[in-house]
Amino acid sequence: MNAPHPKILLVDDDPSILKILSDLMASFGYESATARSGFDAIEKLEQDFFNIVLTDMVMHGMDGMELLKYIHSNYPDIKVIITTGYDRTFSYTDVIRAGASDFISKPFNSDELEAKINRLVREIELMHQLELLSISDVLTGLYNRRYFDTKILEEVQRAHRQNHDLFLAMLDVDNLKDINDKYGHPAGDKLLQSVGVTIEHCIRENVDWPFRYGGDEFCVILTQVSQDQALMTTERFIQSFDEKKMPLTGLSIGLARFIRSKEKKWSEDIADLVRRADIAMYKAKETGRNRVVVDQKNDKRQAE
């Protein structure tokens, strides 16, 4: 969940200016790429991710104002700094109103440019931290239930589009109430944190998605896996957690495969997935706890 290191796109139709800017970005400690025109910049934006665009105002073909408006409409999270000469046609107010984050005149001072970029980087990092706070569970550091509702739709649609299987694992921490009663809530909190660490260590970063679903329940979206691979991952949760040798507890897990029904809404199929994983989880608890039960509906029925 760490913020990506900032990457800057430099746009100018003068190769010598681009070389100077590239060298300056390197001296500031930032990764950068270059574009020789507004059209070239649009291609670069489609191919790669950038946090900041530094663009000249006066360029052949597409000027900086047109590029700014395009970025503002299509990539609203990208910060844009406009550079222009003293004979500028547009004022500071013009470019800020059009969506620019800042403005610097040529010939620019390197200290001023570095200060402006550093300010935008701090803003980006702050926004990233605020976003993480809004989607994270404070106790475990995993994603929260609210983000699950957003992410599950995104992931099932991607899996369906790419013809990949997706599984949902629902995990319940066995005997949490007994542990809270016997050892106190701080011990229960420590147990929940330990479950969160266990889950994160057993999954693929930025491929699988872990959540604290609520109370003593967790869930994990497992993408691009077969049923055997998903089962091995959930069994690894239990094995890794058992190695911690925490008394009175374990993990009861239900595993279900997403099934797309063409006559139903996405939300209905997602609700069905959660329900089946939840039922399988309760079967795991009923049949001895600290085990995985696979939903029996995990067949290969899928709408064309």
Contact by Cβ (8 Å): 257, 165: yes
Query: Environment class of residue 300 by beta-carbon count within 10 Å: exposed (0-12), middle (13-18) or buried (19+)?
Result: exposed
Could you confirm whether 216 is annotated as catalytic?
A: yes
Tokens 């995985």 map to which residue? 292
Question: Which residue in 12, 13, 216, 269 is the catalytic one?
Answer: 216
Question: Which residues lie below 8 Å from residue 7, measured CB to CB, with a gap of 6+?
Answer: 30, 31, 32, 33, 48, 49, 50, 51, 52
From edge to edge, which strands make up the β-sheet containing 292-294? 209-214, 217-223, 166-173, 251-257, 292-294
Q: Which two tokens stand for residue 83?
A: 């550079």
Q: CA-to-CA distance for 30 and 120, rounded, in angstroms?
A: 12
Tokens 């299987």 map to which residue? 165
Question: Which residues lie below 8 Å from residue 162, measured CB to CB, with a gap of 6+?
Answer: none
Q: CA-to-CA distance for 209 and 222, rounded, in angstroms?
A: 7
Q: CA-to-CA distance for 241 and 199, rounded, in angstroms?
A: 9
H helices of the chain, where? 15-28, 38-47, 64-74, 92-97, 110-135, 145-162, 176-183, 185-202, 227-242, 266-286
Contact by Cβ (8 Å): 75, 45: yes
CA atoms within 13 A on the CB side of 43: 7
List active site positions.
Answer: 216
